[in-house]
Amino acid sequence: MEKAEDLLIDTCLLAGKIMMESGSEVYRVEDTMNRIAENANEPNSNSYVTATGIFMGLKSRHYTQIENVGERNINLEKVEAVNQLSRKFAEKSVDLPTLYQQLKKIDKETPEFPLLLQILGAAFLSAFLMVLFGGDWLNFIPTLFIGGIGFFIKYEVKQNFDLRFLDTFFASFIIGMLALLFTQTGLALSFDYMCIGAVMPLVPGVAITASLRDILAGHLVSGLVRGTEAIIVAASIAIGIACILFIFGGWLP
Amino acid sequence: MTFLIQFSFSFFSSAAFGIIANIPRRALLASGFTGAIGWVIYFYFNQFFHSGAFSNFVAAFMIGCLSIFFSKKQKMPMIIFYIPGLIPLVPGGPSYEAVRAFALGDPNVGFEKLLFVMATAISIVGGLLMTSLAEQLVNKWIRFKKN
């Protein structure tokens, strides 16, 4: 009996941790955890979820367990996978030990799009948005190039250095430098539009909306945590571009 | 022609963000469609009313409705559709202009742009909240009809 309850708490915490690290909303995480507990015959159990830590307690026991939430980034496939699994558990087509094993598998080996495809995605995202925001068609190919390079640099710095917020700073610094290079050599027209487009894959716009949604839904702690993180990311992008503007501001057209 | 460019470009940029955010493959088309409809609504409302906040509000409302529709249809969480869908609406341009103004020593313009960014973000979130309100109203109405 003891064993089963331990496993239940572990399962709930793992599901919550995966969802929170992949950028899910707070209410969905709490809902999923409570549902898993309910479907395992532990009704009225409580979960308390913040953006940095998850707490889970069963009503029938005196203990509460805590799980730390590490780095948050967006990986929506994991959110979807956990959601499907908890549905399957509710339909009783998987039992608790299998659920736990499958969650562990999701955490480690959810398939991602290959890096080249992601870079291409970022490149086209930059170029298309540059045109949508009103930039000139002449900037299209340079923006494609700069956006891809920026995303690649962010990825590489994140892989190799264990410093938060450094990746976006470097990426936007290089983006600014390349954009200046293109405008100076006459291959592109507008420095500003190219920067706006190329920075878009890095911008934490989603995190800002998510944090406002959390705040308006009453999850004040998580909202503030995510909002602060988003503001720091935005600031590090801004500082990267601002460095270029400070150093070479006089040369800009 | 303008419509075609606006629609297809916002479609592909939403789908491209979907690739970066690693959404499930079978949701790519739907999220691109959500983003395209949202952006086209924003674009034409903005031309007609000349109010960024209002157009953002309506566009976010539509994006929310579409993502509820797709999430019911494909049995996936709603977040998968509205996160890529909101990407064209995110106020990247004004925030860049704010940074530029601060860096080049013009804080007045900078604060003005910053306020604009905040207004945009709040109107987007307001539009999304209205979607949840509409959903609850529809659910209540369906239950009322049944009884």
> Would you state the pLDDT for residue A253?
57
Sheet containing strand A46-49, edge to edge, reads A46-49, A53-57, A64-68
Angstroms from A241 CA to nearest CA on chain B: 8
Tell me how far apart the alpha carbons of residues B103 and B96 are, in angstroms, rounded to a whole number.
Answer: 11
**Does pLDDT of A223 surpass 60?**
yes
As a whole number, mean pLDDT of residues A207-216 equals 83
Q: Are A64 and A57 in contact (CB under 8 A)?
A: yes
Taking the C-alpha atoms of residue A123 and residue A155, their distance in angstroms, rounded to an integer, is 14
Task: Work out the mean pLDDT of chain A and round it to a whole number.
Answer: 87
pTM reported for the whole predicted model: 0.87
A1 pLDDT above the threshold of 70: no
Closest CA to B27 of A114, A106, A79: A79
Residues 86-125 of A with CB under 8 A from B: 87, 110, 112-113, 117-118, 120-122, 124-125
- At A2, the pLDDT band (50, 70, 90 cuts) reads low
DSSP E strand boundaries for chain A: 46-49, 53-57, 64-68
User: Cα distance from A2 to chain B (closest Cα, Å)?
Assistant: 33
Could you give the CA distance from residue A213 to residue A24 in angstroms, rounded to a whole number?
12
Would you state the pLDDT for residue A22? 87
B76 touches chain A (CB under 8 A): yes
Burial of residue B134 (CB within 10 Å: 0-12, 13-18, 19+) is middle
d(CA A143, CA A242): 19
Give, for all 147 residues of chain B, the pLDDT tens digit.
888 888 999 999 999 999 988 888 888 999 999 999 999 999 999 998 888 889 999 999 999 999 999 999 988 888 889 888 888 888 878 888 888 888 788 899 999 998 998 898 889 989 988 998 998 899 899 998 887
Number of domains in chain B: 1
What is the structure's pLDDT at A251? 65
Residues of B in contact with A196 (CB under 8 A): 92-93, 96
User: Could you report the per-residue pLDDT of A129-167, keeping only the tens digit for each?
Assistant: 988 888 888 888 999 999 999 999 999 998 898 888 889
Please tell me the distance from the alpha carbon of residue A155 to that of residue A122, in angstroms, as a whole number.
11
Q: What is the predicted pLDDT for the residue at A252?
A: 64
Mutate to test the interface with A, among B1, B5, B17, B57 (most CBs of A within 10 A): B17
What residue numbers bound the domain in which B63 lies?
2-146
